[in-house]
Amino acid sequence: MTPRERVLAAVEHREPDYTPMDLGGTPVTGIHCSIVEALRKHYGLPQRLVKVHEPYQMLGMVEDDLKEAMGVDTVGVPAPNTIFGFPPENYKPWTAPWGQDLLVPADFHTTSNAEGDQFIYPKGDMSVGPSGHMPASSFFFDTIIRQPEIDEDKLDVEENMEEFELISDSDLKRFASMASAARKTGRCVVANLPGAALGDIALVPAPFLVNPKGIRDITEWYMSLAVRQDYVKELFARQTAIALQNFKTINDACGDDLDVVMLCGTDFGTQNSTFCSNDTFRDIWLPYYRQMNDWIHANTKWKTFKHSCGAVIPLINSFIDAGFDILNPVQCSAGGMDPQVLKEQFGDRITFWGGGVDTQRVLPFGTPEEVRQQVSERLRIFSKNGGFVFNTIHNIQAKTPIENLVAMLETRRQFNGQ
């Protein structure tokens, strides 16, 4: 099978020639830029500055030669703009606080304080306050909450709609060009569709907006899910209407150049429970997710990808009812997320894209042998009868030992008889 055929077979619950793998295809299946550099050194690839294509999490671009070396079956098409509101293009040099020389997008502008903390600006606009903060000891940015004081009597859904707009001609042209180039690689094309997230907590504070209005504080947003449900439903309905128009525009421009589309990164789980009840999910989110999935399945061949961390086993049937084909990151370390139970209860109805190894404990802190044991077990459980794309649980973080990553990759190859 080609890499594309391999992934699509798995997503369609057919057993492929061997278990496909995604690393770097989405902003939730990526690799920290420092680890990309280390992997390039390990494989003896040409040493060049790593491009940071997603600055919020400081994810490094996994180029074709590294994909080939690791055996990656996917290629990503990012949203037209990064989470800080500027396009990932026209790269320039930048040295990170941990000493790594990198390439960052042209509008990636930072300042620092006496402690060495870095501050980044929305749309690269340094005439306003920063929207992201990287502590000197950190390896990625945190969002700075910039919500103005809320007047309960003057809340206006329109103020939470600023970032939801029809895709511009220039953004569409750039997106379609990337999709066309991705299709030519022979890998499965995974696209991050703009404007389809509903209440994604990474996006609610709007680090990409120069002057965000509306409900932007994370605590205030979660309160709104309980006490302002009519506001939230109106917001989601209007966002969904725009998303559906964008889907049509993107389909007209890209069509079969796309295979899998990431719609939403909204998290519904904590380490031990869900953020909301199943009834609340079905009332507030499911109708709008279903509209998106129904349109995509009626008009395209795309498979839809839902990201949610945490202990979401009580919600998986509802994710399936909403029409999602794929669930990521499959956080098996969270409460109730036992791999065998997940596969037995849901494995014939949704594809698990992730869950291959625990990135909280085993991959960063375990031994290579512990990594091999867990990866072998996850492959044995999840790969049967398809429905599984190997990926770590969320992004591979900075300071992950390379010998552990190599153990992970070698175990996957050995499982597939390579």
CA 57 to CA 24: how far, in whole Å? 12
CA 211 to CA 392: how far, in whole Å? 36
Mode of pairing for the β-strands spanning 118-120 and 132-134: antiparallel
pLDDT above 90 (res 198): yes
pLDDT above 90 (res 195): no
Q: In this structure, how many other beta carbons lie within 10 angstroms of the beta carbon of residue 145?
A: 16
pLDDT at 304: 98
Distance of CA 381 to the CA centre of its chain: 24
CA 138 to CA 357: how far, in whole Å? 23
Phi and psi, residue 168, nearest 5°? -75, 160
pLDDT at 364: 98
Average pLDDT value for residue range 65-82 = 96
Q: In sequence order, which residues have a C-beta less than 8 Å from that of residue 60 and are 6 or more positions away?
A: 30, 31, 32, 33, 34, 35, 36, 37, 50, 51, 52, 53, 102
- b/e map of 170-192 (b: 16 or more CB within 10 Å)? ebbebbbebbeebbeeebbbbbb
pLDDT above 90 (res 18): yes
pLDDT at 417: 82
Coil, strand, or helix at residue 329? Answer: coil
- Looking at the chain, the whole-number percentage of residues with pLDDT higher than 90 is 97
CA 374 to CA 361: how far, in whole Å? 11
User: Could you tell me the pTM of the whole model?
Assistant: 0.96
Angle between helices 169-183 and 229-254 (to 10 degrees): 60
CATH architecture of 3-46+62-83+148-415: Alpha-Beta Barrel (3.20)
Average pLDDT value for residue range 140-166 = 93
Q: In the Cβ-directed half-sphere of 27, how many Cα atoms lie within 13 Å?
A: 25
Helix (H) or strand (E) holding 298: helix 286-299
Tell the residue number behind the tokens 């990594």, with chain if given.
Answer: 371
- Looking at the chain, the whole-number percentage of residues with pLDDT higher than 70 is 100
CA 39 to CA 42: how far, in whole Å? 5
Retrieve residue 114's tokens.
């006496």
For residues 309 and 273, is the Cβ–Cβ distance under 8 A?
no
For residues 204 and 218, is the Cβ–Cβ distance under 8 A?
yes
pLDDT above 90 (res 400): yes
Average pLDDT value for residue range 202-217 = 96
Tell the residue number behind the tokens 């990431």, with chain if given.
Answer: 262
pLDDT above 70 (res 413): yes
Q: How confident is the model at residue 66 (pLDDT cuts 50, 70, 90)?
A: very high
Average pLDDT value for residue range 390-405 = 98
Q: In sequence order, which residues have a C-beta less than 8 Å from that of residue 414 and are 6 or more positions away?
A: none
Retrieve residue 8's tokens.
């699509």
pLDDT above 90 (res 365): yes
What average pLDDT does the structure give for the chain?
Answer: 97
pLDDT above 90 (res 416): no
Average pLDDT value for residue range 222-227 = 95
pLDDT at 418: 65
Angle at 86 (CA atoms; ends 81, 87), nearest 5 degrees = 55
- Domain locations along the chain: 3-46+62-83+148-415
Q: Which of 288, 144, 129, 115 is nearest to 202 (CA)?
A: 144
- Ranges assigned E (strand) in 22-105: 50-54, 59-60, 74-77, 92-95, 101-104
For the residues of 112-157, what is the DSSP string, one character each? E-TT--EEE-GGG-TTS--SEEE-TT-SS-EEPP-PPPP-GGG--G
In sequence order, the β-bridge partners of residue 188 are: 74
